[in-house]
Chain A
Amino acid sequence: MTPAKKPPILVVDDNPDNAEIIRQYLEIRGYPTTVAHSGDEALALFETIQPAVVLLDVMMPGRDGWEVCRVMKQHPTLGRSVRVVMVTALDELRDKHEALQTGADDYVEKPFDLPSLAATVERNLKMRRAKAS
């Protein structure tokens, strides 16, 4: 009766309400989801959780999303396989270039709707599988 095991997701958002909403939505869809409320917490959890996809809020106090993304992407063992999705309002071309510089794979525009968020997670997981094979 065990459903097919889905890969873990890490949601990073300094707003606990946002994070909880995303977590609940993803968990109902079968993704084991972990929440972190700051950049430091996200990095601390990174090795334990080994997430397949990280949904990363950009605007956070302390270490912001760009910095977290850069560190994750340079991780010696996990950096290559993790897909990082920036959650932000990247309306400027410049922001998108900054995102490319840090190694981000995708982004979700804020404010987002949950179905499109789930679709983004889905397409990044698909890409991750394709790359692994």
Chain B
Amino acid sequence: MSESILLTDISPDTLSEAVQLLDGWDVKQVPAEQLPRAVGGGTENGVRAVLIESEDPTILRSTIERAHAANIPVVVACADDVARRRAVELKAEEWYRCPPTPEEVAQRIRAAVGRGAPHLATAVDRVERVEYEQLLHDSLTGLPTLPVMIEQSRALFKERGELVVLYLNFVRYSKIEEIYGWEKLDAVLETTAAAVREFLEDTALSTSRLMVSFTNDDDFIFFHVPAAGVAAASENEITEIVTRLQRHVGGRIEAQHGEEIAALFDIYVGRAHVYYNPKIRLERLIYRGIREAANASRSIETRERARRVADLRTSLRDRSVYVDYHPIVVTETREIFGYEALARGVMRSLRSPEVMFDVAAEADLVWELSRLCRSRAIEGIETRLRPNELLFLNVDPHDFNDPAFNEHEVKYPTRVVIEITERTAIKDYPKFRERLKSFREKGFRFAVDDAGSGYAGLGSIANLEPDFIKLDISLINAIDTNFLKQNLVETMVRFANDHGAKVIAEGVEHAEEFNTVRDLGVHLVQGFFLHRPSTLPVASPAKSLVGN
């Protein structure tokens, strides 16, 4: 590459600065009229680009033609617009207007070479390389994918004769994506991978050769090949390591992404011990090991789920569900407007409302759980909220089929806003609207939750005639840096104003996000930037927790 020559009719003195910016280039100057012939020499003379200043159309044309015949890109220095037009017409790779800065000259030459000769082949090669790179290494975590890992461990496995596969099954990571959007899950996976790597350096496994793979979804696979003279980690050791790993990863995620997200997921680890067998193809042995470890992790998951269902039944019987109230404030004044009720299990395993309802769905206990959560939340209107504050209550559209849920169930209908998620497809709109009508007549108000997440268009939101439109969290996450999100929120605000509804932005975590949604005209805001959810004290109504 150090032999790159720039053939030109411009004096090398003028170009010296630009050429310095191009690493490893030399300038070869020839008089303009000799350029076409010099170019004819082609790339074997080391000529990688031609820079021409001559305004003589004949010289320009024949230089470009000959250069292209020899697969050499051409940059034209243009004194005026006529020259520029000519350069474009003659299909010079690049041009610049005189006088240029040295940076610009360098940039043009670089671009010309980049797009230059054997044009299409290079282009396709480079694109393929970027794509293959993505197939081999996960761009988020930098971890190798499975095929790479198998290749890397082949020799080692053969030499040591055994390999332990650990399969880390992260449950409910998909939920993070569903609620917060893919950008959030990407960030969480990145944290996870870093935490896992950091943790493993400190464990008994670190003495062995260890490789980590990321299967491009949300599970991780470790290959543990014991070092020479060291026994493979025992079952007990691994169990102990796994417990600590879970705690470590959970802690890191909580520190970086908050407890709501940390409470969402679980890690189940399955293990398989694979012994080298010369009769069987090595990659098949490894794949079988992975499958065995994955199955093991699933059966642990199943056991754990059964335990949680039992926990849930106990919770329902003892009514051990409590409610955290998450303030919703008026954007302009930051005064508390109302609270969203977030039901949580008293038992540790059921802390997260998403987990609790997941378990309930499995055990067919959704209505029972919903009833308990509703009545717990509504109790708070009397005991915890101040007279002018509203209670936002999450209600699944399926709950409207529950005979126990009706417009007479609640004592203070005018203080309750029912949140309906846009995610659950509402099949029969006319019937659903009829049902909402009877609630509305009692004084209930409605909010469409997760709006603008791409599930439903504005038309179906309008169909529900909501009093509030709650924007999807993924739209608010880093909205200050993304103009597309800003545009979408602006559209939603305009739509709400036209329909007499108020827009609520939830998941506002940073000052920048708050300022952006305020400037976009969002009426109400909810999020950690202002308040965390809390159990409000009984009997003494909440003080107005105006943020600073």
Contacts and interface: CB of A to CB of B under 8 A. Distances in A.
B103 interface: yes
Contact of A48 (B88, B110, B124, B457): B110
Interface string A5-31: 100100000001000100010010000
Q: How large is the interface on B (under 10, 10 to 19, 20 to 34, 35 or more residues)?
A: 35 or more
A75 B440 CA distance: 51
28 contacts: A2-B101, A2-B102, A3-B101, A8-B107, A32-B108, A34-B111, A43-B123, A43-B126, A44-B115, A44-B122, A44-B127, A48-B111, A48-B114, A49-B114, A71-B130, A74-B130, A75-B130, A76-B133, A93-B458, A94-B454, A96-B487, A96-B488, A106-B482, A106-B484, A107-B483, A107-B484, A127-B481, A131-B481
B16 to A, nearest CB: 14
Contacts of B457: 93-94
Contacts of A16: 88
A105 B134 contact: no
A105 B115 CA distance: 26
Interface in A109-133: 120, 123-124, 127, 130-131
Interface of B: 84, 88, 94, 96-97, 101-104, 107-108, 110-111, 113-115, 120, 122-124, 126-127, 130-131, 133-134, 137, 139, 142, 182, 452, 454, 457-458, 481-485, 487-488, 491
A49 B110 contact: yes
Contacts of B487: 96, 107
A110 to B, nearest CB: 15
Contacts of A101: 182
A1 B360 CA distance: 71
A44 B182 contact: no
A44 B103 contact: no
Contacts of A75: 130, 139
Contacts of A36: 115
B139 A47 contact: no
Interface in A53-67: 63
Contacts of B104: 32
B439 to A, nearest CB: 28
A99 interface: yes
Contacts of B182: 101
Interface of A: 2-3, 5, 8, 16, 20, 24, 27, 32, 34, 36, 40-41, 43-45, 47-49, 63, 71, 74-76, 79, 93-94, 96-97, 99-101, 104-107, 120, 123-124, 127, 130-131
A44 B126 contact: yes
B109 to A, nearest CB: 10
Nearest to B454: A97
A105 B482 contact: yes
A74 B458 contact: no
Contact of A76 (B94, B124, B139): B139
Contacts of B482: 100, 105-106
Contacts of A8: 107
A45 B119 CA distance: 11
A3 B100 CA distance: 10
Given A93-B458, A101-B182, A44 B114 contact: yes
A74 B107 contact: no
A107 B126 CA distance: 26
Given A71-B127, A96-B488, A40 B120 contact: yes
Closest 7 CB pairs of A and B: A48-B114, A44-B123, A97-B454, A106-B483, A43-B127, A34-B111, A40-B123
Contacts of B84: 24
A40 B108 CA distance: 19
Contacts of B113: 48
Contacts of B88: 16, 20
